[in-house]
């Protein structure tokens, strides 16, 4: 037997018992004739003591141990003279009488402590050691607890978890599909699902009116900071529901998770903000509403003077940073640099300082009178001591830049407290979005989304104005998930494919089985998918999803620990009837 | 609102309430001036009634409906004159006052009833309709309930569910790996895991001492009747355990599942039978012990007469079929044909009838006296009225044939009751098995399995005799799962790779990261993986795993519903730097 107890459970109540523990050596120190060792397992840390006076041989053996050795010890629990109030086992220690080394350890490539000296790359290469560290371990345990609470909640509501296939069909539209060559079907490929969308809709047609799945999905695309080629979704679908039914269920689920996992009671209904309003007030469809600082449009009022930057702008907008009138030149320059970063792309930043003494100072003093600027301040509801920041230019870009600037100011002002959570729903998304490059409309959510009945008449004349029964859940500026009501009628779906530029043949080839399915009695249905990795990282207070994934990939889609992807043998390729045709510069990172 | 209640919950208690239901039309019939419609959803069936006298227009509208239409109705609950005791809602019906057709349906390609007229291929093509049928729906719900109970059990025992990656590394050994070309890493491939084996071992090294996952695994191989290219495992691993610890936990889990899901209390400890004993007594390592009928060896006693079939045989074995002495010529011929089938491959069948009158009749009367045959009967513990069936030949093949014959006789004698469950453990598997074709040893379980300490000294001299700390869970003749204690020492693992014919370079290339990991303090660990599809199909009383999978593939690995796998576009291949080089005869089925 390797252990009678874990390293996290023994207290003063157990004094005088003889126990056996197994675990890793966290720390060793010698003090006079005593050797103290902290032994660690998943559950905690217990102090071991070896007394040279009582057992010199054992003490010598202990002195040969090192950090991260795996040992098994037996001994009597005694009271500690020097108690450690920070850990549950801090009142006791084990006076060791037997010691067995189960595994030795070389010196780890980084320290295995709360804070480590290991850089990102090193931690990923030795991820199995990184996972020993408390913060990383806690994330993985948090993830498990959250998955369990999601299941508990949905199970109670009679949702059925159903596994949908991982080897599905590749579609020409699926530019970001991973494909999988089939050995048994020569020259043919499966694809890995970007989502189980079509299958969950088929399940609704099958009559499973409440489906869910915590499921891996896959996307082969350039990875930005917070993307992974494989990611996990809480995927759900319901029949005989309207939008409010779906929102109510998943709002409750979100509250349930906050309550159960973080003991945070969210009492109020989540605000529902239309896409249009969100873009107008926050410049983004995923606003962080932990703080106000809404965007105000100044386009009309600011034009018509000699300042051509504004006169030529499609849009002029501003935010008010409360209490920032005393920002220095240097601070304002830093903000200007911030908005000029290529990924934000503003040309420049205009400021107006509403000084405490009532004077107004701005970078556009020579074009506008204080009286005029005071009018703007009123629009922004700005007070003495506040700083107004203005951007101008092409509308979409400027709103985006204002959104980024707003977040930056929120950050600087400490308004984005990681322990406060402000969920909201964005609703009334546009059905379609225009793509300049290809000169056609794309589905903003996906081609199965139901347009709003009252906008249907605009489909032929003003398609960009048609709103969809689509919604996103946003928490603290992070898009946690989204969904929609779906089309459940063959003709409407056919039409939708037409609007999206599919030929009849393409639509049939790719989604014929779904349109066939609609012919046999499809119920009204809708659903949602939540990004589980993001949700967990939000709960964990992390900025990246990487540390809530046990074995993540890096930004090049590589697992540096197992060194994957990698070349495969010629024989393997031959069996698959494949040839790698072109390999000029392997962009391994 | 689509419904106030489901179609499975209204009873006499609800009489006079006005309710709204939505669902599919299961059945329609006219009776005098009344139209009766059974409306179905996931929860049950409720009878609707339309009264021509009260509402002729609505009744006409109802008459235009058809099977599988999706409708929404509102009406008052009334008592049924002709009660149906078979269903929970059988005491009431809804007198419909409002009717809305949500979706029409064409006539389905097969009847959607308990028993259907649809063949396998048709049911798979229209799987979404097949899933409407009660027996298939019940299987999917059973699967969900079992997954939940597995999680409940393991969660309580502090197992952590951890997701391991799906995009992993292809190894030259992984002949049956599905590979996935990477767009970002040109010419390189991921592989889909045949099991999360290495990752769960790394998690043990990380200190997660109790891990599990209900996880999809993948194998690209010719599919026999009961295999799928993607399948689901209950995958588990534990640290600081011996074999008995693992067996105890998963024996309890099995009992828990039987109790919770089927209300079957398995009181006794599962028998533990060594591989050697199982092969000896049952001719297989997955014996069905719902019935006795053990194999007895007659090699020594049966040789030395004029019967050369026996004299030349490496092995002679027999089973006793109780009460079958009266088997006719025809029945015996059928058994002979059975054992001569190519997949069983016996040359012929020898029988001995122990007639009720004490006489002995056999197909080898001219070679053996009744006295001699009586001796054999004693070995088999055969009584008057019994039939002894004997096979002879090469040992392994003959044992296998006897095992098949035993199962066949069990079937014929009704000894394989699907509602009785007899789990057992097979233990002490050989570590290695010899492959004639390649002329080398392979790991019987996998290369990470720990040999038995007491057999370790035989590794160099008699490797075939070395037993492993490996075990299988077998229920009713079905291998439900298996596992082992693992090697946790770099040197032993290196040695093992050597025994298995890996060069040092190959071992490093493929498993270097694991052997590296062993250097930093690996705990003793072991685990198990259970085939979840098989376990559910066993619980469902099915012979195939296909009907416990929502969207299964056929024997050629095809999903005939979505028509996958399929060709991908030239552009897609180009982006992946791949070319399909050879495609003589697409073996689509």
Per-residue pLDDT tens for B136-162? 999 999 999 999 999 999 999 999 999
Query: Does B27 lie at the interface with A, CB-CB under 8 angstroms?
Result: no
- β-pair partners for B538: none
Q: How far is CA A239 from the centre of its chain?
A: 28
Interface of B with A in 457-496 (CB under 8 A): 488-489
DSSP string, B354-390: E-TTS-EEETTTTTS-HHHHHHHHHHTT--TT-EEEE
- Contacts of residue B412, defined as CB under 8 A and 6 or more positions apart, other chains included, come to none
In the block, residue with structure tokens 């951007």: A391
Contact between A187 and B140 using a beta-carbon 8 Å cutoff: no
A40 interaction partners in chain B (CB closer than 8 Å): 207
- β-pair partners for B3: none
Indicate the residue of A155, A165, A513 with minimum beta-carbon distance to B230: A165
Interface of A with B in 120-179 (CB under 8 A): 126-129, 131-132, 137, 140-141, 143-144, 147-148, 151, 155, 160-170, 172, 175, 177-179
Contact between B161 and A147 using a beta-carbon 8 Å cutoff: yes
Interface of B with A in 501-530 (CB under 8 A): 513, 516-524
Q: Give the whole-angstrom CA distance, residue A220 versus residue B568.
A: 15
Is A38 domain-assigned?
yes
**Residues, chain A:** 589
Query: For the segment B527-570, what is each residue's pLDDT rounded down to a tens digit?
Result: 999 999 999 999 999 989 999 999 999 988 999 999 999 988 88
Q: Which helix (H) or strand (E) holds A495?
A: helix A490-499
Q: Give the whole-angstrom CA distance, residue A13 versus residue A77.
A: 10
DSSP string, A320-388: EETT-TT--HHHHHHHHHHHHSTTT--S--EEEEE-TTS-EEETTTTTS-HHHHHHHHHHTT--TT-EE
B64 and B143 co-located in one domain: no
Count of CB atoms within 10 A of residue A372's CB? 15
A87 and A142 co-located in one domain: no
Q: Give the whole-angstrom CA distance, residue A486 versus residue A468.
A: 10
Indicate the residue of B184, B187, B199 with minimum beta-carbon distance to A551: B199
Is B580 domain-assigned?
no
The yes-or-no verdict on residue B245 having pLDDT over 80 is yes
Is A576 domain-assigned?
no
Contact present, A368 and A339 (Cβ < 8 Å): no
Contact between A232 and B207 using a beta-carbon 8 Å cutoff: no
Contact between A513 and B103 using a beta-carbon 8 Å cutoff: no
**Residues, chain B:** 589
Indicate the residue of A182, A240, A585 with minimum beta-carbon distance to B557: A182
Computed over its alpha carbons, how large is the radius of gyration of chain B?
A: 30
Interface of B with A in 417-456 (CB under 8 A): none
In the block, residue with structure tokens 């698959």: A576
Indicate the residue of A102, A222, A488 with minimum beta-carbon distance to B184: A222
Q: Is B220 left (phi over 0), alpha (psi -120 to 50) or beta?
A: beta
Interface of B with A in 30-69 (CB under 8 A): 40-42, 68-69
Query: Does B219 lie at the interface with A, CB-CB under 8 angstroms?
Result: no
pLDDT value, residue B580:
87
Query: Does A343 lie at the interface with B, CB-CB under 8 angstroms?
Result: no
In the block, residue with structure tokens 């005088």: A16
CB half-sphere exposure, A569, CA atoms < 13 A: 14
Indicate the residue of A170, A208, A550 with minimum beta-carbon distance to B566: A170
Is B430 domain-assigned?
no
Q: How far is CA A47 from the centre of its chain?
A: 38
Contact between A207 and B131 using a beta-carbon 8 Å cutoff: yes
User: Residue B522: closest CA among chain A residues belongs to which residue?
Assistant: A103
Q: Give the whole-angstrom CA distance, residue A180 versus residue B432.
A: 32
Whole-angstrom CA distances from B4 to A251, B88, B245, B451, B452 are: 21, 18, 50, 62, 63
Query: Does B385 lie at the interface with A, CB-CB under 8 angstroms?
Result: no
The yes-or-no verdict on residue B320 having pLDDT over 90 is yes
Angle between helices B504-517 and B490-499 (to 10 degrees): 150
pLDDT value, residue B184:
86
Interface test with chain B among A150, A171, A190, A229, by most B beta carbons within 10 Å: A190
Q: Give the whole-angstrom CA distance, residue A437 versus residue A441.
A: 10
> What is the three-state SS of B176-195?
CCCEEECCCCCCCEEECCCC
- β-pair partners for A297: A317
Is B115 domain-assigned?
no
Is B64 domain-assigned?
yes
A154 and A200 co-located in one domain: yes
Interface test with chain A among B4, B23, B531, B562, by most A beta carbons within 10 Å: B562
Query: For the segment B415-453, what is each residue's pLDDT rounded down to a tens digit?
Result: 999 999 999 999 999 999 988 888 888 898 889 999 999
| CATH number of the domain encompassing residue B509 | 3.30.930.10
Q: Give the whole-angstrom CA distance, residue B161 versus residue A466.
A: 43
| CATH number of the domain encompassing residue B55 | 2.40.50.140
CB half-sphere exposure, B244, CA atoms < 13 A: 3
Query: For the segment B50-91, what is each residue's pLDDT rounded down to a tens digit?
Result: 999 999 999 999 999 999 999 999 999 999 999 999 999 999
pLDDT value, residue A41:
97
- β-pair partners for A520: B105
Instruction: Check whether the bond before A565 is cis (ω within 30° of 0).
Output: yes
Count of CB atoms within 10 A of residue B68's CB? 21
Least Cα distance to B256 among B244, B266, B271 occurs for B266
Chain B closest CA to A273's CA: distance in Å?
23
Task: Output the average pLDDT for chain B.
Answer: 94
Is A520 domain-assigned?
yes
Contact between B132 and A568 using a beta-carbon 8 Å cutoff: no
What ipTM, to 2 d.p.? 0.95
A166 and A214 co-located in one domain: yes
B229 interaction partners in chain A (CB closer than 8 Å): 167
Q: Give the whole-angstrom CA distance, residue A462 versus residue B5.
A: 40
In the block, residue with structure tokens 């014919």: B501
Which token pair is A390? 């203005």
Q: Give the whole-angstrom CA distance, residue B405 versus residue B318.
A: 10
Whole-angstrom CA distances from B529 to A191, B144, B184, B200 are: 26, 18, 33, 11
pLDDT value, residue B187:
87
pLDDT value, residue A364:
94
Contact present, A472 and A481 (Cβ < 8 Å): yes
A301 and A385 co-located in one domain: yes
User: Residue A203: closest CA among chain B residues belongs to which residue?
Assistant: B128
Q: Is B506 left (phi over 0), alpha (psi -120 to 50) or beta?
A: alpha
Sign of CA dihedral B337, B339, B341, B345: negative
Contact between A202 and B127 using a beta-carbon 8 Å cutoff: yes
Query: Does B224 lie at the interface with A, CB-CB under 8 angstroms?
Result: no
In the block, residue with structure tokens 């959510």: A445
The yes-or-no verdict on residue B21 having pLDDT over 60 is yes
B252 and B155 co-located in one domain: yes
A231 and A349 co-located in one domain: no
Query: For the segment B335-348, what is each residue's pLDDT rounded down to a tens digit?
Result: 999 999 999 999 99
Least Cα distance to B150 among B260, B64, B238, B231 occurs for B260
B144 interaction partners in chain A (CB closer than 8 Å): 160-162
A169 interaction partners in chain B (CB closer than 8 Å): 559, 562-566
B226 and B340 co-located in one domain: no
Q: Give the whole-angstrom CA distance, residue A345 versus residue A396.
A: 11
A168 interaction partners in chain B (CB closer than 8 Å): 559, 562, 564
- β-pair partners for B473: B425, B481
- Contacts of residue A445, defined as CB under 8 A and 6 or more positions apart, other chains included, come to A429, A431, A468, A470, A482, A483, A484
pLDDT value, residue A589:
44
B108 interaction partners in chain A (CB closer than 8 Å): 520
Contact between A513 and B567 using a beta-carbon 8 Å cutoff: no
| CATH number of the domain encompassing residue A303 | 3.30.1360.30
Query: Does A218 lie at the interface with B, CB-CB under 8 angstroms?
Result: yes
Q: Which of A379, A395, A412 is the last residue of a domain?
A: A412
B209 and B176 co-located in one domain: yes
pLDDT value, residue A225:
66
Contact between A586 and B165 using a beta-carbon 8 Å cutoff: no
Chain B closest CA to A227's CA: distance in Å?
14
Whole-angstrom CA distances from B543 to B12, B181, B352, B471, B537 are: 40, 36, 32, 24, 7
pTM for this predicted structure: 0.95
Give me the mean pLDDT over the B254-276 stretch: 97
Q: Give the whole-angstrom CA distance, residue A13 versus residue A550.
A: 36
pLDDT value, residue B583:
56
Q: Give the whole-angstrom CA distance, residue A383 versus residue A325.
A: 10
Query: Does A572 lie at the interface with B, CB-CB under 8 angstroms?
Result: yes
The yes-or-no verdict on residue B573 having pLDDT over 90 is no
Under DSSP, the state recorded for A587 is -
Instruction: Return phi, psi of residue A72, to 5°.
Output: -120, 130
Least Cα distance to A155 among B265, B119, B339, B151 occurs for B151
A227 class by beta-carbon count within 10 Å (0-12 exposed, 13-18 middle, 19+ buried): middle
Q: Give the whole-angstrom CA distance, residue B129 versus residue B114.
A: 12
A296 and A246 co-located in one domain: no
Q: Give the whole-angstrom CA distance, residue B205 versus residue B266.
A: 35
Contact present, A410 and A416 (Cβ < 8 Å): yes
pLDDT value, residue A277:
98
Is A533 domain-assigned?
yes
Contact present, B551 and A199 (Cβ < 8 Å): yes
Strand B92-103 versus strand B44-51 pairing type: parallel
Q: Give the whole-angstrom CA distance, residue A55 versus residue A48.
A: 14
B177 interaction partners in chain A (CB closer than 8 Å): 572
Q: Give the whole-angstrom CA distance, residue B589 versus residue B586.
A: 9
Under DSSP, the state recorded for B40 is E
Q: Give the whole-angstrom CA distance, residue B533 versus residue B528.
A: 15
B351 and B258 co-located in one domain: no
Low-confidence ranges of chain A (pLDDT < 50): 588-589
Q: Give the whole-angstrom CA distance, residue A289 versus residue A287.
A: 6
Strand B210-218 versus strand B160-161 pairing type: parallel
Q: Which domain holds residue B532?
A: 137-270+483-570
Query: For the segment B184-224, what is each residue's pLDDT rounded down to a tens digit?
Result: 888 899 999 999 999 999 999 999 999 999 999 999 887 76
Instruction: Check whether the bond before B565 is cis (ω within 30° of 0).
Output: yes
Q: Which of B353, B379, B412 is the last residue of a domain?
A: B412
Contact present, B405 and B285 (Cβ < 8 Å): no
Interface test with chain B among A137, A161, A163, A583, by most B beta carbons within 10 Å: A163
Contact between A564 and B190 using a beta-carbon 8 Å cutoff: yes
Query: For the segment B293-318, what is each residue's pLDDT rounded down to a tens digit?
Result: 999 999 999 999 999 999 999 999 99
Structural domain count of chain B: 3
pLDDT value, residue B585:
54
A99 and A143 co-located in one domain: no
Contact between B581 and A583 using a beta-carbon 8 Å cutoff: no
């Amino acid at each position: 037997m390797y252990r009678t107890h874990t390293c996290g459970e023994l207290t003063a109540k157990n004094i005088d018992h003889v126990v056996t523990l197994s675990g890793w050596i966290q720390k060793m120190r010698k003090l006079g004739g005593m050797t103290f060792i902290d032994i660690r397992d998943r559950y905690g840390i217990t102090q071991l003591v070896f007394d040279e006076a009582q057992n010199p041989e054992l003490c010598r053996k202990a002195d040969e141990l090192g950090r991260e050795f795996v040992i098994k010890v037996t001994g009597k629990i005694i009271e500690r003279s020097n108690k450690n109030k920070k850990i549950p086992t801090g009142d006791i220690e084990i006076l060791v009488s037997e010691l067995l080394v189960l595994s030795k350890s070389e010196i780890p490539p980084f320290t295995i402590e709360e804070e480590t000296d290991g850089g990102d790359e090193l931690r990923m290469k030795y991820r199995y050691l990184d996972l020993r560290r408390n913060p990383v371990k806690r994330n993985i345990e948090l993830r498990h607890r959250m998955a369990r609470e999601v299941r508990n909640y949905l199970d109670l509501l009679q949702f059925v978890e159903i596994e949908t296939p991982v080897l599905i069909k590749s579609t020409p539209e699926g530019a970001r599909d991973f494909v999988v060559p089939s050995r048994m079907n020569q020259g043919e490929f499966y694809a890995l699902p970007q989502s189980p969308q079509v299958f969950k809709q088929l399940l609704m047609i099958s009559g499973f009116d409440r489906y869910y799945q915590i499921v891996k999905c896959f996307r082969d695309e350039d990875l930005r900071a917070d993307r992974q080629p494989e990611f996990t979704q809480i995927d759900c679908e319901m029949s005989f529901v309207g939008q409010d039914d779906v929102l109510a269920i998943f709002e409750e689920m979100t509250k349930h998770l906050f309550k159960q996992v973080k003991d945070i009671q969210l009492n109020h209904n989540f605000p529902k903000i239309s896409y249009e309003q969100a873009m107008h007030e926050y410049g983004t469809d995923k606003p962080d509403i932990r703080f106000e600082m809404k965007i105000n449009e100044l386009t009309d009022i600011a034009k018509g003077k000699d300042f051509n930057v504004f006169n030529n702008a499609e849009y002029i907008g501003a935010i008010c940073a409360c209490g920032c009138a005393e920002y220095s030149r240097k601070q304002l320059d830093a903000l200007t640099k911030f908005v000029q970063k290529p990924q934000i792309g503003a040309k420049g930043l205009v400021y107006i300082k509403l000084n405490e003494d009532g004077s107004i100072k701005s970078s556009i003093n020579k074009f506008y009178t204080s009286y005029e600027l005071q009018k703007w301040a009123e629009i922004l509801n700005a007070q003495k001591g506040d700083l107004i920041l203005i951007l101008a230019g092409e509308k979409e870009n400027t709103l985006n830049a204002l959104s980024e600037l707003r977040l930056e100011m929120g950050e600087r002002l400490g308004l984005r407290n990681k322990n406060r959570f402000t969920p909201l729903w964005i609703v009334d998304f546009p059905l379609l979005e225009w793509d300049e490059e290809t000169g056609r409309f794309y589905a903003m959510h996906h081609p199965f989304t139901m347009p709003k009945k009252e906008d249907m008449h605009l489909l032929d004349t003003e398609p960009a104005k048609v709103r969809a029964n689509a919604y996103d859940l946003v928490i603290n500026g992070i898009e946690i998930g989204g969904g929609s009501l779906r089309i459940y009628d063959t003709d409407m779906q056919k039409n939708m494919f037409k609007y999206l530029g599919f030929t009849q043949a393409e639509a049939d080839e790719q989604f014929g089985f779904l349109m066939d399915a609609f012919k046999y009695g499809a119920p009204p249905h809708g659903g949602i998918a939540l990004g589980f990795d993001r949700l967990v990282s939000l709960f964990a207070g992390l900025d990246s999803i990487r540390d809530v994934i046990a074995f993540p990939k890096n930004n090049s889609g590589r697992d540096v620990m197992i060194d994957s992807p990698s070349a495969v043998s010629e024989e393997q390729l031959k069996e698959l009837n494949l040839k790698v045709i072109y390999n000029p510069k392997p962009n391994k990172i």
